[in-house]
Amino acid sequence: MISVLAPPSRAIGVPHERLDGKEKVSGRACYAADTPAERLAYGVFALANIPRGRIAQLDVGRAEHAAGVLRIFTHENMPRLNPVSSPPAGQSLLPLQSDRIAYEGQPIALAVAATLEQAAHAASLVRAEYEREPFNVDFRTQLERAVEGQSFFESDTRVGDVERELAQAPIRIAQRYRTADRHHCAMEPSATVARWENGSLTLDDATQYVWGVRMAVAQALDIAPERVRVRSSYAGGGFGSKGYVWPHQVLTAAAARELERPLKVVLTRAQAFTAHGYQTASEQALDIGAERDGTLRAVRATSINPTSRFDDYVEYCALSARSLYAAPAIETRHRVVHVDRSTPTPMRAPHDGVAMVGLEIAMDELAYEAGIDSLELRLRNYAQRDPTTGKPFSSKELRACYRLAAERFGWSGRNPRPGAMREGRVRIGWGMATALMGTFRMPASARVTVESDGRVLIEAGTQEIGTGVRTIMPQIAADVLGVPIEQVRIALGDTTLPETGGTFGSSTTMSVGSAVLDAATRLRDELRELGAHEDEDLGAVLSRSGRTSLSADGAWSPGEEGDFSMHTFGAVFAEVRVDEDLPIPRVSRVVGAYSAGRIINPTTARSQIQGGMVWGIGQALLEESSMDPTLGRYLSKNLAGYLVPANADVPELEVIFAEEVDAHASPLGAKGIGELGAVGVAPAIANAVFHATGVRVRELPIRLEMLLA
Ligand code: MOS
């Protein structure tokens, strides 16, 4: 029996396995590159191997005559395309439009052939001669050239008299902190299949934002957006790399139009290092002044990051300092250095995830300097209101997080003296850090339909990038309509469905979920008007009223919830073990407690946070996209040289959610969790390494040689 008057919260808040789990593990889930098409052609890019200059001569003769080749597109024969505004474009420079080379890895040709192997072979035969120009890919050698970048937050903020407070503060921590360039390394490299029919385009694309792709491609190709349909059924991770629209998507669509044939382009792992953005390295300067009891008097945070010559991308690495700790004076400042590289882009836990590295190591330094427990220091500087804007927080259960995680971890048993805790030759370190992540909300719409058999269909154009959308949205509709969640399915990832925002900024549960909540509530009201009563099958209600289906449209957009400072929070505790002779830090335990609004599905939520913690371990110990400054290219464009944590690097990860409903963030009471878990872990590990070894590490990733010093 199915009830339309069910008690509230029958499905929301209940752990539930992924509804799409079987489809994925059985290989039935269809990803962009799996899209079948008649007469499908394959495209492979040939890339420039210099970082700056112009193409003097391009020899495509051998490539054109290779077996199976249909066309070699270059800047000489690719039609001129319109520039695309950014965002949705991740990079304003569109390759194959001129002879200019502005970064190593920039496409110089797109070889199209009847098979993938033939296209790859043809691409390898393209020969270019360049007029080389002087270049610099290393922003750290030219920090004095840092300038203000145009982006979406304020560059600089200031409250109070930082100069005076710092001068009068009895304790001062003034240090520089560094994080490395990193890459998303989604398991599924970006892929696009473009098909034209009667002047209309269908793109099956690995994207986090189907409407963004539609907007960018329509603009570039000078056609009405209505003529572009973009679908993204499944994506094997995105983490930001598929959030904006990159040249390969636009060029694939343009080439397919020229060829009058469907065209597929799948990036190789190596190409993914330059085909879409990366997370920039950061140079963070923290200057903190405090009383002897640890009370903050001033925080000055400045950050510099690299960006391309042609675009401003600001990684806001001083952002967290604006909101996290109460201090009478706070100053933040962001600058960029233009270098000869591709344009960076957000990557999982952008801004705060990088910013908290500097701030939270600096706070640990302050705790030691003042002789105060690291957790106690955070509590002494707990912000009741946003210290920069003065606004109240929409919700904040950070105190509960500190308590829950500290208890679970056993923090009170810590001997604070560095090197004091050990097991034989192994030094044990315990460190902690706070996590804070911005809340991003987007307008969304959705439709919910009851079909004649009583099954429920949710339609929303949103994307599933692995976060659990295909399970969470059915839970919300099931909850409202009082049906089992197995009876609810969702159609998503398609611009023909009700419009939503991108699956980024940890925004989907809040934004799309609120639209689904609205549609399902309207549908429930309509069913009640049809005389539906408790324990009545929804299909029976329809047939009694002579209908085959009943739909309701819903929508939600942020903005009418008052003026709040809106964030998610967490407290992260980490244990590391470091051998005294061969000091390779191994993370042996992480406990995190989180304040992230109402948790819709504890199973998928926990998995999101654990995934984020694994990212944090990578950020602390492994991940770095090093460049060769003389060649201007990445040293290793592969997963052998770019290290991410393997199972053996990942210990038990404990996740606790503080009880919380944020009614200001969304009608669901939910906030975002997709990125929060990736924040705070790396500084907690760095602080644990200090506790174990007495070596203060201010640069990530932490390497063996730093600890030998
Ligand atoms: Mo996330 S970096 O907003 O996809």
Give the residue, out of 183, 232, 348, with the most ligand 1 atoms within 8 A of its beta carbon, to mutate for a pocket test. Answer: 348
Q: Does a cis peptide bond (omega within 30 degrees of 0) precede residue 387?
A: no
Q: Tell me the two tokens of residue 248.
A: 């390969």
CB 472 near ligand 1, within 6 Å: no
Tell how far the Cα of 238 is from the centroid of ligand 1, in angstroms.
8
- Asked if 158 and 331 count as a contact pair (C-beta separation under 8 A), the reply is yes
CB 350 near ligand 1, within 6 Å: yes
Q: Could you tell me which residues come within 8 angstroms of residue 267 by beta carbon, excluding any fewer than 6 positions away?
A: 45, 189, 190, 191, 248, 275
CB 554 near ligand 1, within 6 Å: no
Distance CA 543, CA 541 (A): 6
Give the residue, out of 207, 232, 239, with the most ligand 1 atoms within 8 A of its beta carbon, to mutate for a pocket test. Answer: 239
Amino acid identity at 616 = G
CB 346 near ligand 1, within 6 Å: yes
Tell how far the Cα of 674 is from the centroid of ligand 1, in angstroms.
8
Number of alpha carbons in the 13 Å side-chain half-sphere of residue 401: 30
User: Which atom of ligand 1 approaches the CA of 242 most closely?
Assistant: 4
CB 243 near ligand 1, within 6 Å: yes
3-state secondary structure of 105: coil
- Asked if 140 and 96 count as a contact pair (C-beta separation under 8 A), the reply is no
Cβ neighbour number for residue 320 with a 10 Å cutoff? 29
Q: Tell me the two tokens of residue 701.
A: 């990733």
User: Which atom of ligand 1 approaches the CA of 350 most closely?
Assistant: 2
Tell how far the Cα of 240 is from the centroid of ligand 1, in angstroms.
4
Cβ neighbour number for residue 85 with a 10 Å cutoff? 11
CB 348 near ligand 1, within 6 Å: yes
- Asked if 625 and 278 count as a contact pair (C-beta separation under 8 A), the reply is yes
What are 316's strand-pairing partners?
A: none
Distance CA 499, CA 446 (A): 7
First to last CA, the chain: 69
Look up residue 679 and give its DSSP letter.
Answer: S
Q: What is the mean pLDDT of each run of 10 residues along the chain (709 residues)?
A: 48 94 94 96 98 98 98 98 92 97 98 98 98 98 96 95 98 98 97 98 98 98 98 95 98 98 98 97 98 98 98 97 98 98 98 98 98 98 97 97 98 97 97 97 97 96 95 97 94 98 94 97 95 85 92 91 90 97 96 97 97 98 97 96 96 97 94 96 98 98 92
- Asked if 349 and 506 count as a contact pair (C-beta separation under 8 A), the reply is no
pLDDT at 533: 83
Tell how far the Cα of 504 is from the centroid of ligand 1, in angstroms.
4
Tell how far the Cα of 188 is from the centroid of ligand 1, in angstroms.
16
CB 239 near ligand 1, within 6 Å: yes
CB 505 near ligand 1, within 6 Å: yes
Number of alpha carbons in the 13 Å side-chain half-sphere of residue 242: 29
User: Which atom of ligand 1 approaches the CA of 239 most closely?
Assistant: 4
CB 240 near ligand 1, within 6 Å: yes
- Asked if 355 and 284 count as a contact pair (C-beta separation under 8 A), the reply is yes
- Closest of 174, 575, 176, 178 to residue 366, by C-alpha: 174
CATH number for the segment(s) 372-440+561-709: 3.30.365.10
Tell how far the Cα of 345 is from the centroid of ligand 1, in angstroms.
9
Bridge-based pairing of strands 191-197 and 263-266 is antiparallel
CB 105 near ligand 1, within 6 Å: no
Tell how far the Cα of 152 is from the centroid of ligand 1, in angstroms.
15
CB 502 near ligand 1, within 6 Å: no
CB 438 near ligand 1, within 6 Å: no
Q: Strands across the sheet with 488-491, in order?
A: 488-491, 456-459, 444-451, 549-556
pTM of the model: 0.97
Give the residue, out of 313, 347, 354, with the most ligand 1 atoms within 8 A of its beta carbon, to mutate for a pocket test. Answer: 347
Tell how far the Cα of 237 is from the centroid of ligand 1, in angstroms.
11
**CATH domain 442-556 topology:** Aldehyde Oxidoreductase; domain 4 (3.30.365)
Cβ neighbour number for residue 120 with a 10 Å cutoff? 17
- Asked if 662 and 437 count as a contact pair (C-beta separation under 8 A), the reply is no
User: Which atom of ligand 1 approaches the CA of 240 most closely?
Assistant: 4
User: Which atom of ligand 1 approaches the CA of 348 most closely?
Assistant: 2
User: Which atom of ligand 1 approaches the CA of 349 most closely?
Assistant: 2
CB 504 near ligand 1, within 6 Å: yes
Residue 675 among the catalytic residues? yes
Q: Could you tell me which residues come within 8 angstroms of residue 451 by beta carbon, excluding any fewer than 6 positions away?
A: 457, 539, 548, 549
Tell how far the Cα of 424 is from the centroid of ligand 1, in angstroms.
43
Distance CA 293, CA 112 (A): 67
CB 347 near ligand 1, within 6 Å: yes
Tell how far the Cα of 314 is from the centroid of ligand 1, in angstroms.
14
Active-site hit among 464, 654, 660, 675? 675
CB 238 near ligand 1, within 6 Å: yes
- Asked if 209 and 502 count as a contact pair (C-beta separation under 8 A), the reply is yes
Q: Tell me the two tokens of residue 480.
A: 């409202």
User: Which atom of ligand 1 approaches the CA of 674 most closely?
Assistant: 1
With 0-12 / 13-18 / 19 or more C-beta atoms within 10 angstroms meaning exposed / middle / buried, residue 75 is: middle
- Residue 352 φ/ψ, nearest 5 degrees: -60, -40
Tell how far the Cα of 675 is from the centroid of ligand 1, in angstroms.
7
User: Which atom of ligand 1 approaches the CA of 503 most closely?
Assistant: 4
Tell how far the Cα of 507 is from the centroid of ligand 1, in angstroms.
9
Look up residue 290 and give its DSSP letter.
Answer: E
- Closest of 122, 106, 125, 105 to residue 43, by C-alpha: 122
3-state secondary structure of 222: coil
Q: Tell me the two tokens of residue 492.
A: 């998503």
Give the residue, out of 185, 510, 675, 676, with the most ligand 1 atoms within 8 A of its beta carbon, to mutate for a pocket test. Answer: 675
User: Which atom of ligand 1 approaches the CA of 675 most closely?
Assistant: 1
Q: Which residues of the chain does CATH 3.30.365.10 include?
A: 372-440+561-709, 442-556
- Closest of 107, 120, 126 to residue 62, by C-alpha: 126
Cβ neighbour number for residue 492 with a 10 Å cutoff? 26
- Closest of 166, 164, 62, 165 to residue 109, by C-alpha: 62
> What DSSP letter does each residue of 48-82 carry, written as one string?
-SSSSEEEEEEE-HHHHTSTTEEEEE-TTTSPP--
